[in-house]
Structure 1
Amino acid sequence: MDRDLTAVRDLVAGLAEQAGRLQLERRDTLRVGAPKAHVNDVVSDVDIASERLIVTAILAAWPDDAVQAEEGNGRAGTSGWTWVVDPLDGTRNYISRTGPWSVCIALYHDERARLAVVHEPVAGETFSAIDGGGAFLNGARLPVPAGTSLDRALVGVSFQPNPKTKERAARVIRDLLPVTGDIRRLPAALNLVYQAAGRLDGGVALDTFLWDIAAGALIAREAGVILGGHGAEFTTELTVGAAPALWDTLAERVRASA
């Protein structure tokens, strides 16, 4: 590996913030396209413009890299490095003005996540991490989340809004809600970075795509959040995260119903 990841992280954070400004500027004039995989899988012209901005800049700097991007600007590469881009995670929130969204960019070398940025445009918050280097919010290092007991815990829930996954999410929520402090539904990336920041004590993500969780997962892990799925490793099918004090209890509950 021959990249200065700190310099790359700073450049990528700038790209994410630039895409966030575009999203704020164009929110009043956005156009919504036809649904993708199902009726609730929406996309806007701003999603597409944001992805084009990010991918064009990345490939100008690293033309041999591969890209996996939600809105179709993917390509194979030859360098061993792969960018995973979700230009607007939480499109339904963005369009309906009912909640937060974020810009997510991760960089893998072979199969390992090496760098991540998640930017929340409205709050002006940029979460970032470099593999082995800790997690940061607007340049300040995040401490390891303290966590709490399950009956006091605030738990984030994220899921794809297709019919099959909504049934699965209903089982998880039905099991968790009576025994937790409360739950919040959030886009997957923010679910993960809010765990990193200690705003959530734990979280669950169901049937995501890699671009939904790649950046947030590295940031959460670098902050000290424990991540897993039905096994020791988290997957796009199931990601459970929690502060260390809560992990065993939350994971046991979620695995029983997910």
Structure 2
Amino acid sequence: MMERDLLAAGDLAASLAVCAGRLQLERRDTLVVGATKAHANDVVSDVDIASERLIVDAVRAAWPDDAVQAEEGHGRPGTSGWTWVVDPLDGTRNYISRTGPWSVCIALYQGEQARMAVVHEPVANETFSAVDGGGALLNGAKITASSGPPLAEALVGVSFQPGPETKERAGRVIRELLPLSGDIRRLPAALNLAYQAAGRLDGGLALDTKLWDIAAGALIAREAGVVLGGHGEEFSTELTIGAAPALWPALSERVRAALQRPTA
């Protein structure tokens, strides 16, 4: 497997994420919403597709032998052992409806291991980034997870795909956590993890995501000191729990208990 300058890859990813974010801001008033995907709440716009093409075309030009996994269909196989995982617009419903934040997410994997990640929030002009083993940054400054207050004081992020079955599972978790936690915020998965990395959220969870939803945010969170897990020790697209170390035992126990409880 060929070596890679991860700092150079990170610089390119950050530049592309900022460019895609600028495109999204410029075209927000003229976007065209396309057909839904998996269900009625799974929407895509022409801006999602244009943003992905911008990123993937530049990655292909720089590293033509790399594989790409991309949400809107511009992926391809590769031969180098490196894979770019791209979500050009995580939080499309927020973007279209103007009801919350969204982000551009780019991660680079070596085999099965995330090695570089960028999450860019266009409205705030904030770029979260990380290189494996190098810590997490926000606009170039180091960030770390929160100190981990007790669950009763903790701010917890919740992310989930809006399909009917997933919403039922998310409802069980929210019913469990809302009376016990300081408060809850619903966010797109990448920003949920990035905000944990910056200490804005004390913990969070994501249900039934795709790899491109969490790949970049998970590396950034881990590098900032967030504990990640899911079913057992490993986080996954089915369940990702994150928390500051001191909060992890209480939050992970409550989330897992809620999901294991039979449906009423």
TM-score, structure 2 as length reference = 0.97
Alignment of 1:83-232 (within 5 A): 83-232=84-233
1:82 alignment counterpart: 83
C-alpha distance after superposition, 1:212-248 (max 9, x if no partner)? 0000000000000000001111000000000001000
Listed as ranges, the gaps of 5+ residues in structure 1 are none
1:234 to 2:235 alignment: yes
Letter in 1 for 2:226: V
Q: Map Cα deviations across residues 121-151 of structure 1 (whole Å, 9 max, x no partner).
A: 0000000000000000000011342121000
How far off is 1:2 after superposition? 1.7
CA–CA distance in 2 between the matches of 1:143 and 1:85? Answer: 24
Hey, what's the Cα distance between the residues in 2 that align with 1:76 and 1:90?
26
Aligned to 1:52: 53
Residue 41 (1) aligns with residue 42 (2): yes
> For residue 165 of structure 1, what is the amino acid of its counterpart?
T
Number of equivalenced pairs:
258
CA contact (8 A) 1:145 1:223 kept: no
Secondary structure of 2:252's partner? helix
Q: Deviations over 1:62-105 (max 9, x none)?
A: 00000000000011100000000000000000000000000000
Partners of 2:179 and 2:100 in 1: CA distance: 24
Please give the root-mean-square deviation of Cα atoms over the aligned residues, in Å: 0.6
Gaps of 5+ in 2: 260-264
Larger displacement relative to structure 2 (154-163 or 143-152): 143-152
**Aligned counterparts of 2:134 and 2:90: Cα–Cα separation in 1:** 25
Deviations 1:1-35 (A, max 9, x none): 42111111011100000000000000000000010
Q: Could you tell me which amino acid in structure 1 is paired with residue 42 of structure 2? A: D
Structure 1 moving runs of 4+ over 6 Å: none
- Give the aligned partner of residue 69 of structure 1: 70
